[in-house]
A and B are shown apart, each in its own frame.
Chain A
Amino acid sequence: MESNDVEEEEFGFSRNYFLAKELRGSGKKSARKLSEINLVDEQELREAYANIEPKHEKEINDLLNTYKNSYSEWVFVLRCGFALLMYGFGSKKALMEDFASTALRDYSVVVINGYLQSVNLKQVAVTLAELLWDQLKTQRKSTLANLPKNQQPFHTRSMDDLISFLDGPHLEDDECFVCVLVNNIDGPGLRDSETQQYLARLAACSHVRMVASIDHVNAPLLWDKKMVHTQFNWYWYHVPTYAPYKVEGMFFPLILAHTGSAQTVKTASIVLQSLTPNAQSVFKVLADHQLAHPNEEGMPFNNLYTICRERFLVSSQITLNAHLTEFKDHELVKTRRNSDGEDCLYVPLTTEALEKLVQEISQ
């Protein structure tokens, strides 16, 4: 305990030190810009990203193998009615799936990938119910009479019905459950509170057991005490793997790829060049206005329309709207409100990037 306190003190001290330094230097804040880094071509960067040489491969494998010795304990804890929550640095996807496919062979296992953007829990619940139904049928061949024969198909039932089926008392003596393996229960697809409530209700079902992983340091904030203590009933395991977050990080933008203006200018000019000359000219009007008034919120729609009409670029508001819709679809133009409450159009690019873009399409 004592050493921790000392550590904490040290951290507090160093934080204060650097904060003070930062404050002092706030006058010349943007000392170095990201764009000053001599960036390689994005193509090359992505290629290198895909083939990053792993470090400590052997040690990581050894670490994973030590966890294998705990598999039987994990199964026991799971069977006792707890849900397993794996945390620690490194992707735990492979570890958990290996655990499930070696030690949980006796039970059906459904994997949810929470790192994806959207997960339909209703479908998951339907699948779980179907698996449980199959399991019940095989386990209870002799006394099938207990199960209703002509039941409603699961996909037409409501979530409440599905949950009460999964929670229902089907078997008295034998244990019978399906396992849900949730990769990144704190991931973007599962992060909202309604989904977490449903997950908690699923985890609390008597015929469902849950194994989940978290990666975010603040993940426990997703749950209140009711969920933690009575529904999920977590049993925490600290299992750092140091395995790369390959799949989990798939949807994160590369910090050195998108911030560089070169890339966005290139894509924007490709899009613009595929449009009609009139459309390009409309975009140029907007861009010129933005370059001339860099501190304004943008260009009000009516002003744009007047100028475009004067230059015979559009004949009616409808045609202008058609162009704008095209721009918006490609994220070349966005709207925001200025201080007068007017909707203003602007190009979401920095001044330098915009200049470059105007140059490119003028050629």
Chain B
Amino acid sequence: MDPAVDAPSSLLIPTAENNLQPFFVLHKASPPRKSAAKTRRRIDLSPKTSDSSTEESDDNLRLETFNFLWSNTESIIKDVLKNLNANVFDEIDKWVHVSFDAIRACRKLDCFSATSPYPILNSASIAAAGASRQIFTGLLFTKNMEFVDDILTFADLGVHLRSNGCYVANLTSLDFSAKSGVGGCLKILLRQFLMVGIDAPDMSILASWYTEQENNENPLVVIIDDVERCCASVLADFIIMLREWVVKIPIVLILGVATSFDALRNILCSNVCSYLSVREFTLGTPAERMDAVIEAVLLRSESFSIGKQVSTFLRNCFLRHDGTLTLFIRALKGFDGESILLRDIVLKRALNLPSLQRFCQPSAKLVDWASGLSELKRLRKLWSSTLLCLYEAGKYQKISLLDLYCEILEHDLCYSGASDHTQLAKDNIVSSHKNHLHGCLQREGYVVRAFRMVRDLPAVELCKLLSRWELLTRGIKEIHEKVKELQTLMKFEENRPKRDLKEASKKPTARNLINEKTDKTTGSEKVATFLQGMVRQYIQPVESIPYNEIVFFNNVDKLQTALIGDPRRRIQADLLESDKFLRCSCCSKNSGAPIPSMHDTSIMYSLAQEHGDLINLHEWFHSFKSIVSLPPLQAKKRPRPSPSPKKRKDSNEPQSRNDAQIQAAFCRAVTELQITGLLRMPSKRRPDYVQRVAFGL
């Protein structure tokens, strides 16, 4: 384990024969150490008690903390997503059972045909029930091109239907590949329904299983999660096959569709389409799911929270780069891991936290530690419930929680720093109105829009909003009471304008109208002012909260590089700026020009920058040669542009390499560039040129 013991050279001597094995066992697990296991169990989950001396138990503790935190977060996310889909799932379940009953109603089989191992095609009873020769098919629109996000959804749907007495098989588009054909999907189908692997799959096996095992009280459901990516011909065969058997094996299909109804018509011919009796269902949009996850994980749960840079990074990823909720969740996981490493460092140097030093006297450390933490918890709770209230108001304008969250973190200074915040908000509104007129709505902040929304809300909606706030803020004394007050106020006011309205309708005078207007504004104005006050008071800049380092993580660079590697840029940068990584004394002096002491491949790649799409090997070789044969002292001079291809005499340049060495180095550099994919080898058409692949970092 000790890195100092290992000589660095040991890194570079791999055993030769293993290198030519496609795979080999490097070593087997060393027997587990009992002590480690024991300490692991003993350790309390709270990181505060970390006092272990050995590094290993530290690691175990960290891992335990991670598992605890992450399993917690993961289950929250799963629950949230499941609840979001609950309505659709129930609907699907009902429809499955209705369809099943419809199939059974027209299926009256005598004993013989029920047990015979072939499908029923021309029996009279079927002819009577012609309509039932269709497969009931549910199209589940995911409203999301990224099917990664829906893998969990379809798994959940399977679980849901199973718990309601269906037999379910989950297939993916990979199962419908041209290579394995329809036999391949049948195999998987049997594997999932019968729970055994069968070498020679046949529908009759499924039929006999279904009739014999008294399973026939329950519907069979086949879920295919992204139908657009299936191989069309295999899918068509599969549907035709199911249709032949549909009377004996009442299978209901559920197809996940990312685009629209037309997708099905595009991949299947009309004949096959006519075999399907289609019903449509729709899932929530990714943005809705995102908001739900943020609300549950970042605002309602108390485990951790993300800082401004991280939130912006994630938002950009979600909106522009990757578009998947899965990445977001993965980021949270990565974050959990990182945060534990970080938290560890933080706790080790707990009392040196900058935020703490700002707020506490260095003498009274331990007492403040506990009180500081509970204060932090309180502030965080206020912070998140304020944000949720804002979100509730923003919902009227379809402002997403993600946007709001990021904005709050980004601009927190401007909301709390200004003392006359209302004025500021008003100014914003005025200017935003102007902006609105000019048609550039984007410039306007989401928070300001939420404020304005509250002002413009009709009284009825305002009451609804207040009652939702009342629910949200339960348990938080500071806000809850004020919400209650506002509610009673609104009720009182709600009664009054009604009377006014009646009078006004009788006798519409200018005065009444003005009265009504002012009445209405006072109500909503009060609520808006209250909201603004809340924002001013509780949305503090994260950095000003003591101990913020513990819950707000802001190490975005590390997270970003860990989640989204950037090999294309990085590998090129490695080559072009090798001296930065190697930190050698010799190469850093050059000002961009290649010098002989540099790594050969670096020299070659720098030289390649001076070519277009094609590199003439001959020219490239000679410029390489001219550089590496320069004596180190002359390195600063520019190399001669085209030296003669004649053999050089090495006698007066003792340090430079001979021709064979230079050519070998050239060969290796070309091979290495080929391995990195930055070069394509000469084609037959152009034997003297290699092709550059990457341009620009």
Contacts and interface: CB of A to CB of B under 8 A. Distances in A.
B581 A12 contact: no
B30 A106 contact: yes
Contacts of A88: 570-571, 574
Contact of B675 (A64, A94, A252): A252
Interface residues of A, number: 126
Of A8, A45, A69, chain B has the most CB atoms within 10 Å of the CB of: A45
Interface stretch (A72-80, A264-272, A290-298, A311-319): A72-80
Contacts of A85: 565
Contacts of A127: 23, 25
B676 interface: yes
A19 B612 contact: yes
Contacts of A106: 29-30, 32
B676 A217 contact: yes
Nearest to B58: A72
Given A33-B688, A64-B8, A127-B23, A14 B664 contact: no
A240 B690 CA distance: 25
Which residue among A34, A75, A131 has the maximum number of chain B CB atoms within 10 Å of its CB? A34
A11 B696 contact: yes
Interface stretch (A133-141, A143-151, A301-309): A133-141
Interface in B5-32: 6, 8-14, 18-32
B695 A111 contact: no
Contacts of A7: 696-697
A56 B326 CA distance: 42
Given A48-B661, A131-B25, A138-B31, A61 B8 contact: yes
A103 B29 contact: no
B146 A225 contact: yes
Contacts of A338: none
Given A45-B663, A219-B567, A124 B23 contact: yes
A216 B677 contact: yes
Given A14-B609, A101-B26, A254-B667, A65 B571 contact: no
A289 to B, nearest CB: 20
B174 A197 contact: yes
A37 B645 contact: yes
A18 B612 contact: yes
A89 B25 contact: no
A238 B668 contact: no
Given A32-B688, A79-B63, A106-B32, A111 B565 contact: no
B618 A181 contact: no
A116 interface: yes
A351 interface: no
Interface in A28-52: 30-34, 36-40, 44-49, 52
B48 interface: no
Contacts of A119: 22-23
A322 interface: no
Contact of B563 (A219, A225, A236): A236
A233 interface: yes
B129 interface: no
Interface stretch (A241-249, A278-286, A324-332, A355-363): A241-249
A118 B21 CA distance: 10
B581 A242 contact: yes
Contact of B322 (A36, A225, A238): A225
A69 B3 contact: yes
B3 A38 contact: no
Given A49-B664, A106-B32, A116 B572 contact: no
A39 B663 contact: yes
Interface string B341-358: 100000000000000000
A106 B12 CA distance: 23
Contacts of B263: none
A275 interface: no
B5 to A, nearest CB: 9
Given A97-B14, A158-B197, A53 B8 contact: no
Interface in B631-676: 645-647, 657, 659-661, 663-668, 670-672, 674-676
B571 A217 contact: yes
B3 A65 contact: yes
Contacts of B661: 48, 52-53
B668 A80 contact: no
Nearest to A180: B23
B23 A123 contact: yes
Nearest to A235: B562
Contact of A89 (B191, B336, B575): B575
Contact of A87 (B11, B571, B647): B571
A131 to B, nearest CB: 7
B610 interface: yes
Interface of B: 1, 3, 6, 8-14, 18-32, 37, 55, 59, 62-63, 66, 70, 146-148, 151, 174, 179, 191, 197, 322, 324, 326-327, 330, 333-334, 336-337, 341, 561-565, 567-568, 570-572, 574-575, 578, 581-584, 597-601, 609-614, 616-619, 621-622, 645-647, 657, 659-661, 663-668, 670-672, 674-678, 681-682, 687-688, 690, 693-697
**Closest 10 interchain pairs by CB?**
A236-B565, A32-B618, A11-B696, A89-B574, A48-B664, A18-B612, A216-B677, A22-B612, A68-B3, A48-B660
